[in-house]
Amino acid sequence: MVSIEEYGQFETAWCPGCGNFSILESVKRGLVASRLEPHQLLFVSGIGQAAKTPHYLNANVFNGLHGRALPVATGAKLANPNLKVIVESGDGCNYGEGGNHFLAAIRRNIDLTMIVHDNQVYGLTKGQASPTTQEGFVTKAQPEGVASTPFNPIAVAVAMQASFVARGFSGMGDHLTTLIEKAIAHEGFALIDVLQPCVSFNKVNTFAWYKKRCYTLSEEYDPTDWQAAMAKATEWGDSIPLGILYRQQRPTFEARLAVLQQGGLVDRETDLRELEKIMDKFS
């Protein structure tokens, strides 16, 4: 069995006290619980503080462009469906620059796990508002306070009937670990939005702020009840539900492509005889 040590220990470029550290820890523990070896995994990330995470564990990694982790992950998964592909990046990366890919990934229901470090701010570029920043939050880029309504990734994902929609909190490591394990086990697109304090730029949504508000969904909560999920999805402010908010089984994108039923593209030989027959049609 794989041990957490195999995932290594690395020096990070994060600020002391940042929520990213505990998320990294939960990710590793979730991988161990999923009995995955480093080489079976592909982490794909974008650019930002969160997007550095894959550099801090042993795995295959593609650290791409800001906002473009999902399409890279999609391409890689289609090329080799045997890879366990995990997208890990920030809220700005995934919901801001990458918003269109987020919608498309949900629609495809491709078998990926998407872990979003949601610190409600752009960390790496020094504290501008992110799509999830709350209204009125003042930054140097928004000196009058944010005028837009925050993006609620959970509500959008549930509205689109994404097949696995969850929320975690970096400050509740065991819970998050379990979520990650379940998301990996889920066949289809699995979103985990992880609340993450940014000690440098978000002085509002701090560890204490989250801690006070976050609660885990009760055992009775039925994540397959879409209407209930929709209602839960908009709960925010005084209390913030954590856990699997919505879940549904539907075929993955890969499962619907005939060509992938014979395995990944990587192993496929090019059949020039078949091509010859195809060419004949042009005569």
Ligand X SMILES: Cc1ncc(C[n+]2csc(CCOP(=O)(O)OP(=O)(O)O)c2C)c(N)n1
Report the interface residues with ligand X, using CB under 6 A.
Answer: 47-50, 66, 89-93, 117, 119, 121-125, 130
- Whole-angstrom Cα distance, residue 73 to residue 176? 22
192-251 positions binding another protein, by CB under 8 A:
200-201
Partner from ligand X, a second copy, ligand SF4, none binding residue 247, C-beta < 5-8 Å depending on class: none
Does position 119 interact with ligand SF4 (CB under 6 A)? The reply is: yes
For residue 241, how many other CB atoms are within 10 A of its CB? 18
Token digits of residue 142: 């928004």
- Whole-angstrom Cα distance, residue 209 to residue 192? 20
Partner from a second copy, another protein, ligand X, none binding residue 90, C-beta < 5-8 Å depending on class: ligand X
Nearer to ligand X, 84 or 117 (CB): 117
For residue 155, how many other CB atoms are within 10 A of its CB? 19
The residue within the footprint of another protein, chosen from 115, 116, 129, 183 (CB under 8 A), is 129
Does position 156 interact with another protein (CB under 8 A)? The reply is: no
Does position 20 interact with ligand SF4 (CB under 6 A)? The reply is: yes
- Whole-angstrom Cα distance, residue 37 to residue 44? 16
Rg (CA), the chain: 20
Does position 18 interact with ligand SF4 (CB under 6 A)? The reply is: yes
The residue within the footprint of Mg ion, chosen from 88, 91, 181, 254 (CB under 5 A), is 91
Does position 132 interact with Mg ion (CB under 5 A)? The reply is: no
Nearer to a second copy, 60 or 248 (CB): 248
Burial class from Cβ neighbours inside 10 Å (0-12, 13-18, 19+) for residue 134 reads: middle
Residue 60: CB minimum distance to a second copy, A: 26
Does position 119 interact with Mg ion (CB under 5 A)? The reply is: yes
- Looking up tokens 């990710």, which residue turns up? 27
Token digits of residue 260: 């992938």
Does position 27 interact with another protein (CB under 8 A)? The reply is: no
* Residue of 48, 76, 49, 71 lying closest to 61 (CA atoms): 76
Token digits of residue 269: 């030989």
65-104 positions binding a second copy, by CB under 8 A:
97-100, 103-104
Phi, psi of 232 (to 5 degrees): -60, -35
Contacting positions for Mg ion (CB under 5 A): 90-92, 119, 123, 130
Contacting positions for ligand SF4 (CB under 6 A): 14-15, 18, 20, 49, 119, 123, 198-201
